[in-house]
Amino acid sequence: MKQPVLSVVAACACALGASFPLTAAGEATPVFDTAGFLSACTGFVPDVGSAVPMDTQCVSQAVRMCNMSQENKTLQYCVDSAAAWLEADGARIVSQMPGFDKSVLDGNGPAGLSLPMPALGDAPDCTKISDPNLPSELVCRYSEALSEWLKLRVLMRSEDMTGEASQ
């Protein structure tokens, strides 16, 4: 099971190059393309039973690689960039489902979504999530964005919700 994940990450890493913007002093500073990596990596994830863990690996690898590109000094920026991409990609997925009611993602009431993985069914409780290196608001934003995005990815792949499999 780990081989497909490693292949996806390796393919994404090879497919993307770092850009090198100039600093005020004229020095080249490598910047990891988090959005580009996430778009490429998640595009390689097949519609298989382990798609959710593979999607999750794409996100966690993007954060790690972004932070490593700046010598492990930009974790807050990298998590924020990943959260922004997750929110934007979630909006893109929703826009491809005309008439989609986002309340389905809440899991409450008769229209609530019953997902195959219990961990995805509940929204994260931000009071119980912490990271000593990140502000709690950012950890909460990232957790909520990841949770909603994973649910939307499950729906995107579901023939029942879209009428056809998207991937």
pLDDT in tens, 52-71: 999 999 999 999 999 999 99
For 115-149, how does the pLDDT look when each residue is reduced to its tens digit (9 = 90+)? Answer: 544 444 455 577 777 788 899 999 999 999 999 99
Residue 2 three-state SS: helix
| CA–CA dist 141, 104 (Å, integer) | 20
116-131 burial, b at 16+ Cβ within 10 Å, e below that, comes to eeeebbeebeeeeeee
pLDDT surpassing 80 at residue 11: no
Q: How many CB atoms within 10 Å of residue 147?
A: 18
Considering the domain boundaries, does residue 109 fall inside one?
A: yes
Considering the domain boundaries, does residue 167 fall inside one?
A: no
Considering the domain boundaries, does residue 70 fall inside one?
A: yes
| CA–CA dist 15, 65 (Å, integer) | 14
Considering the domain boundaries, does residue 80 fall inside one?
A: yes
Considering the domain boundaries, does residue 105 fall inside one?
A: yes
β-pair partners for 31:
19
Q: Which domain does 119 fall in, by range?
A: 2-87+95-162
Q: Could you tell me the pTM of the whole model?
A: 0.72
For 17-61, how does the pLDDT look when each residue is reduced to its tens digit (9 = 90+)? Answer: 333 344 455 554 558 999 999 999 999 999 898 999 999 999 999
Considering the domain boundaries, does residue 144 fall inside one?
A: yes
| CA–CA dist 137, 112 (Å, integer) | 26
**Number of domains forming the structure of the chain:** 1
